[in-house]
Structure 1
Amino acid sequence: MVQTNPRFAVIGAGIVGVCCALRLQARGFDVCLFDPREPGSATSFGNAGVIADSFIMPYSTPGLWKQLPGMLLSGDGPLKVRWPYFVRGLPWLLRFMSEARVDRTRQVAAELATLGRLCQSSHRELMREHDVDANLMKANGVLKVYRDPRVIENHALEHEVLREHGFPVEVLDGDELRQLEPGLSREFRAAEFLPVMGQVAQSVKLTEAYFEAFVRLGGRHIKESARRFEMQSEGPKRLITDLGIHDVDQVLIAAGAWSRELVNALGIDVPLDTERGYHISVDWCDELVLNRPVMDGENFFVMAPMLDGVRVTSGTEIGGLSLPPDFSRVRRILGYARASLPKLTGAVNREWMGYRPSMPDSKPVIGRSPRHAGVFFAFGHGHLGLTQAAITSKLIEELVMGVPTSVAVAPFSAERFA
């Protein structure tokens, strides 16, 4: 077996792991990034590219119990459960549903807001420090559009919470929303505009740019799968992979949906599961105009402008890591998208599925291992991996260096599930 001596092992080469590896390498650590895949090529590849700093509301909100049966029975709703996975996924779903209370909504939103306020500035800081093209990220805002204006009346709590934490939301009528997006169907008669949110034109490009900066600083990528650790009293001693043994001093687990098995190997259990997400990418055509990500707030999909086409993303599927993809729902949603954006007539150039690493309380796990010195966690970002990657890396850097953190990390500790 191959044996090497990386002193700081970062496990996972998605956007979160790459950002963390870059910051640690820049701090002078000898960092190795462990992942059998190319950086940013798994879950980080397929999102809508939104820097969703205003998305501070947890996904389990008051009233969800009433909506759940309809969601599960609808083939096109925001939540689908793959029935072969139902029994295994039930504990996560029950914990998720237990969060659907007003007090928890307000608490979680307040905690996520501490990250949200720093998401874009942390990306800008990292891009500036490492000469990453600033044009990769822009701030045109995000539109959530509705056919029935009365739907927005149900969002009073969300609007109150957003404004309380400094995130503006504007309610638009049909004419106002078409001033922003003239290509949308006239069936849309109202919208919520989140003006401060940003977008990356191709999320994998940002991950690749951060990774290139990491390599320029001397960082290494070892294409092996982490399996377990050998520990000693002062911390990690060795990382065992599928292909080798590697001496380490410190470890960061940032393996997204694959993190739970590694954390379990340390004797710690966290309720991490996967929200599988799908997208279909459609070629641009000459007359198509789409200036920013647009969310259909009634059919629960996003249309996002990307360099290689318009990306149509679906909702959430609870199905674990092993079941094959089922593209039937996102293919049906593509029909809705073409009706919503009549000039979306291009050919499909890709179908994709990825695994969002999600916690039932909608908060990531960021912090030190509660049981082991020299072990750090950065996973469970759910729908907000791209959004929260840079601020997460800043917090990990601060924890490793032993300096005060930019925001309180206790709400994101793995110990909250003890």
Structure 2
Amino acid sequence: MGQQVTPTVVLLGTLDTKGIEYGYIRERLHENGVNVILMDAGVLGEPAVQPDISKEEVAKAAGYDVYELLEAKDRGAAIKAMAAGAASIVGQLYTEKRLQGILGLGGSGGTALITQAMRALPIGVPKLMVSTMASGDTRPYVGEVDITMMYSVVDIAGINQFSAQILSNAAGAIAGMAKASAPDLTGGKTLVAATMFGVTTPAVEEARKHLEERGYEILVFHATGTGGQSMEALMRDGFISGVLDLTTTELADDLVGGVLSAGPQRLEAAGELGIPQVVSLGALDMVNFGPKDTVPKAFQDRLLYEHNPTVTLMRTTPEECAELGRRIALKLNQAKGPVSLFVPLRGVSIIAKEGQLFHDPVADKALISALYEHLDTTVVELVEMDTDINDPAFARAMAERLHELFQASVTRQ
């Protein structure tokens, strides 16, 4: 057995304002048996603790002079510059195998700076951010990567009985992550992505089982906005070879203003990259909001369903469904690779079937009619099935068609 190498954790932060706290957590990391590289990204003053990588080096990595940033007195520009420099350096450290984890401490500005650098690292590299912002909306910080956010409870301003425990916990957590290793489960299997929501789970589970029997490894993404973004980021990074995009609900949130939008470019990556894709209309009957009292006043008279105490669903109207149909058709028409669109005629979610709260034949007809009007069937294969989306036969048909498209694409290569 070879000698075990001690992992290294990079500590990234603003040592002019948080130096005492970084010195404390560096000691805790050493106690947890890891090496530490301390990087300074502060520009306001001198570091309170000696870094291993200076603020001058960080600024230079982004093409700036740190003292010019200080003289400009533009905090936003300085954060942006130092974040870019830090991202460049941590990327280089990872390439050189000198980074097995990264940890940061900060308020709003520090969290924005540090997490930008963290997002430059590959998925799977341990990333822990202790932040005063971790109990709110963390999406701007986490993005589509695996950053772990830990709420600091008290501000990161000195060492006291509360902060000492929280920072010690953080040190133990990142040290444990840096030491941990996952078993190799790659096995040479082709990776296929699938999108799922609670109201399309039966379909995705059936399709996943069918594809696994065919020898594929399935990555299921929760269609929560960041889920779709993460999936498409992995496509662009070359990991995904086929897509079962059964749940395209994020497009409804983007259109109407729900909280789970994946952005206007959703449903474009696979087509641009020529990846075989089989697409459906899962959960386009709904737009997502938070607790019921957070639904915008403009929507208070709409059909709402309290899915759970933190999620309220709103039924899409015929007009919204028609626009969704148009957008989906235009996106799929641009595909450079094989694409098949499966249309379930009896409901696009568990609660859109006949007898359920969101059953609306007029809205469904508007969606399907707009699709048919704008779809270029010389590019997109259209498959209608007289089932609801969660029917096992529908799920298996989608999965089998993806298998056929992938096999055909491999043969052509």
Q: How high is the TM-score relative to the length of structure 2?
A: 0.21
Higher relative contact order (CA 8 A, sep 6+): 1
Q: Which is richer in strand?
A: 1
Larger radius of gyration: 2
Q: Which is richer in helix?
A: 2
Q: How high is the TM-score relative to the length of structure 1?
A: 0.21
